[in-house]
Structure 1
Amino acid sequence: MADGNNLEQPAAGASADGGQERRTGRLRNRLVAVGVALAVLVPLAYLWATSLVPDEYSATGMGFADYGGGPGASSSEHDHHGGKSVVDLTGPRAGTPDVALTLTAREQRFTLATGQSVDGYTLNGTSPGPLIRAVQGDLVEVTLVNESVADGATLHWHGIDVPNAEDGVAGVTQDAVPVGGKHVYRFRAEQAGTYWYHSHQVSSEQVRNGLFGTIVISPRAAPAGPSAQGSRGTEDRDLVAAIHTYDDRRTINGRTGSSREDVAAGTRLRVRIVNTDNALVRTGLVGAPVKVLAVDGQDLNGPTPTTDAFPLAAGARVDLDVTIPPTGVRLEAGGGSLALAPPGVEAPADPLPSATVDLLSYGSPAPLALDPAKADRAFEYRIGRRPGFLDGVPGLWWTINGHKFPDVPMYMVTEGDVVTMTISNSSGQSHPMHLHGHHAVVLSRNGVKSTGTPWWVDTLEVGDKETYEIAFTADNPGLWMDHCHNLPHASEGLMTHLMYEGVSTPYVVGGSAGNEPE
């Protein structure tokens, strides 16, 4: 039996070497872990830091210049020197207005026409605010008084191609009007049509909660009846229907559920439908054929009778011509409805048809006032989405041409340019794209050319996996927003600008005025 004292023991040197190897291994593992952490954290820190939006910045310094292959294409800098300020691009300063009113903005609890209470915003104590009517050529003067909207407020004239200083975008064309302040807007009502107005300060909140109204501009000399845009004295044949959702309650002119208006059989009625919500609404009249007279304030050529529904983009408008039958008709707006029928008659309760009007082929073609084949600039507006940071907040954010706000392309033009723009969407959601200060004509969708009426828009629904080609003339100098009118999308970075070279602005986003256009 072996003596326990004679058991073989490891050499002292071998024990020291093993301990050293273990310590070296642990140190190596720690260094690898630190290296991996740094490899992850340093890029994240960089992405976080580069995503931060300054507390105060000018729209003219945002992103990078895109000249669309036109003059200045060799430069990546914005040219805003030696020209005009938006302050100079005003409507008429002199002259007695033909239409003058004051709109007082309040933050308050108010009651809808059907009795429900809403915490939000009003203009002159109501939401929607007052309907403004003008005649083409009228000088319009609107004074906005901010009585109690804490974040400030503005008025943007959606779809009316006003001079840039009158556009009402906080931090771009003016400062937000503070509590106790006022701002005067003056412009010529040059474009007959159906439009609306709303705040462009914290707009994703203020519009949703009631700070908006409608405006109708009639032709100076209009034939009788609603086949033209309407005229003074024909309001009984002209009805405005503003669709809006308050606290998940769909309304038409501030009335929830089903409402009605008595209209005698045989009346020829122009129904002006305005979508003030953030998403497309399938709308239309049930009970009689209609003609689509105008879209976004622009008359269509050769409209024909149809019973199809109309897909109305957020922010867009459509004018329908209908002769009221003895059985009446019903305006349907996705949860809200309005019966237009003779007294005592129940309007049809049928649902909207599944088919929809396609303006790519509706109506008759007509010559355009521009030649897209000779465009001076050709832009791409590719809408996408990817994870990352926006102003330090992680999330899944919208992109324009692969870039996140504020590092987005700024579309640069000079006055008189003919411009084409290809808008494509691979973001997974639909977007109603709104260009301020201009109307564009739709040339094609998904490569299929327009064969119907010239389809002029200021707000265009671009569905997921869709591509539109549009064209317009750069004939209204200024700095113009070009953004998604699903306003929360705009506040999440889906916005940029159309910028005329040589135009500058003294206003800033943020700053002491607290300007927040989206």
Structure 2
Amino acid sequence: MRDRIGAPGTGISRREFVAATGGIGTAALAGCTAPTPNQSTRTGSEGSQNQLNQDSDLPKTSPPEIVNAHEQGNQVTMKSMPAVHDVHPEETMGGPVQLPRVWAFQADDGEPSVPGPIIRTVEGEDIEVTLDNTDGKRPHTLHFHGAQKKWMDDGVPTTTGIRVDAGEKHTYTIPANVPGTHVYHCHYQTHRHIDMGMYGIFRVDPEGYEPADKEYFMTVKDWDSRLNRMMAGEDVSYSPRTRSPDVFTVNGKSAPRTLHPEDGSPIIVEQGDTVRIHYVNGGYMNHPLHLHNHRFQRVEKDGGTIPEAARHDMDITNIAPAERHTIEFEADSEPGIYLMHCHKVNHVMNGSYYPGGMLSGVVYKEAMDTDIFAKLMEYAGYEG
């Protein structure tokens, strides 16, 4: 269970959340009615797939956590394991939505997650990342963007000759010599392994880094659930040549689960906060990300600092596959709940239900004791 509420980063504490909401829970929500779906987005047949999941002892994924490598001697062990991924488990707003099989990353003794753990360190400190595939069933590698490294640490089997087969371990040395927000992923059969969940954020804080009042990490991704269903044993046909995404996520969840304070990624702020969001696109499509009622500036792109003279106020940033955009804004609006979403409208759907999908929100702490927030918590499945 995470100590902080909201997206991975520096949200408010659990105690602050309870105080701000007046102790919202199931009893407080008993009078709320959640919108029911016109069409469910169940991935898999009602019979065979549900039986497959019941017969499986696979773990369910947890939200991505921040691994502060700097605080543990810059040594991290990563494993990948099959898991079941609940994108939105409730029967509200087009749910439930599930990816019945993913390959989740697990760091050290943490929980498996999709996206994988956020690996964070400090500029100038090399990290030793060990890919532990001793319990695996297929080859994997690790490739880190945003690090100038030795050839054999690049993580690409076709050009280095190194792949980590099932039953093996391999340690990569990753220099933290390019500050900024980056991405890592498996580079073996990349088209399939990223789409099975093997991706995450690599963050290098520059020397003298000054954090904002609130800082959050958010990875967006598009999924073609046929691949995940096929890998779970369903009788479906999938080809990357005919990839057709039908699930859209923020930090692995679709709205309204994205607003769940523990399982989702609400952007929780207090009026007057400076807010910094590190966006990463872990998918294969561009996503124009729009923030309601706030003007922001893009201050970093792919680890490069954008000069102040080149910055300007904006409310949408179009992020390509594997790109990283860091934005900053002031929480200067009237306290309330304001959306953050992809502006390709069909990406903000769960099946045929709108809204859903790639949508989260800026939630002011001052607005957490309202009836509408209580309703949103019911839609998201929060029970207090």
Q: TM-score range with shorter-chain normalisation?
A: 0.5 to 0.7
1:330 aligns with 2:339: yes
1:324-345 deviations in Å (ceiling 9; x for gaps): 2333543213421121221335
Choose the corresponding residue for 1:253, options 246, 251, 254.
251
- Give the conservation status (yes or no) of the 8 Å contact 2:117–2:201: yes
Task: Kindly state the Cα deviation for residue 188 of structure 1 after the two structures are TM-superposed.
Answer: 2.0
Task: Kindly state the Cα deviation for residue 207 of structure 1 after the two structures are TM-superposed.
Answer: 0.2
- Give the conservation status (yes or no) of the 8 Å contact 1:289–1:305: no
* Map of 2:296 onto structure 1: 290
- Aligned mates of 2:285, 2:87 — CA distance in 1: 23
Task: Kindly state the Cα deviation for residue 149 of structure 1 after the two structures are TM-superposed.
Answer: 4.5
Choose the corresponding residue for 1:110, options 84, 92, 103.
84
Shift of the 225–305 alpha-carbon distance from structure 1 to 2, 3 Å rule, reads farther
1:363-390 deviations in Å (ceiling 9; x for gaps): xxxxxxxxxxxxxxxxxxxxxxxxxxxx
**Amino acid across the alignment from 2:298:** V
- Aligned mates of 2:141, 2:295 — CA distance in 1: 39
Choose the corresponding residue for 1:263, options 269, 286, 305.
269
Task: Kindly state the Cα deviation for residue 147 of structure 1 after the two structures are TM-superposed.
Answer: 4.4
- Aligned mates of 1:294, 1:314 — CA distance in 2: 16
Shift of the 329–138 alpha-carbon distance from structure 1 to 2, 3 Å rule, reads farther
- Aligned mates of 2:301, 2:134 — CA distance in 1: 34
The Cα RMSD (Å) is: 2.2
* Aligned pairs for 1:41-190 within 5 A: 98-106=73-81, 108-112=82-86, 114-115=88-89, 116-124=98-106, 125-147=112-134, 149-190=136-177
What is the DSSP-based 3-state SS (H/G/I as helix, E as strand, rest coil) of the residue aligned with 1:255? Answer: coil
- Aligned mates of 1:118, 1:147 — CA distance in 2: 23
- Give the conservation status (yes or no) of the 8 Å contact 1:193–1:218: yes
Higher RCO (CA-CA < 8 Å; seq separation 6+) = 2
Choose the corresponding residue for 1:341, options 343, 348, 363.
363
- Aligned mates of 2:167, 2:278 — CA distance in 1: 34
* Map of 1:313 onto structure 2: 320
- Give the conservation status (yes or no) of the 8 Å contact 1:98–1:138: no
- Give the conservation status (yes or no) of the 8 Å contact 1:237–1:267: yes
- Give the conservation status (yes or no) of the 8 Å contact 1:324–1:341: no
Choose the corresponding residue for 2:220, options 240, 243, 252.
243
Note the residue ranges of structure 2 that are not aligned, 5 or more in a row: 1-70, 90-97, 107-111, 226-245, 260-265, 349-357, 374-384
1:420-469 deviations in Å (ceiling 9; x for gaps): xxxxxxxxxxxxxxxxxxxxxxxxxxxxxxxxxxxxxxxxxxxxxxxxxx
Shift of the 126–147 alpha-carbon distance from structure 1 to 2, 3 Å rule, reads farther
Note the residue ranges of structure 1 that are not aligned, 5 or more in a row: 1-95, 227-235, 348-518
Task: Kindly state the Cα deviation for residue 109 of structure 1 after the two structures are TM-superposed.
Answer: 3.2
What is the DSSP-based 3-state SS (H/G/I as helix, E as strand, rest coil) of the residue aligned with 1:165? Answer: helix
1:207 aligns with 2:199: no
**Amino acid across the alignment from 1:118:** P
* Map of 1:440 onto structure 2: none
- Aligned mates of 2:86, 2:152 — CA distance in 1: 33
**Amino acid across the alignment from 1:241:** M
Task: Kindly state the Cα deviation for residue 176 of structure 1 after the two structures are TM-superposed.
Answer: 1.6
Task: Kindly state the Cα deviation for residue 208 of structure 1 after the two structures are TM-superposed.
Answer: 0.8
More strand by share: 1
- Aligned mates of 2:172, 2:303 — CA distance in 1: 20
- Aligned mates of 1:308, 1:196 — CA distance in 2: 24
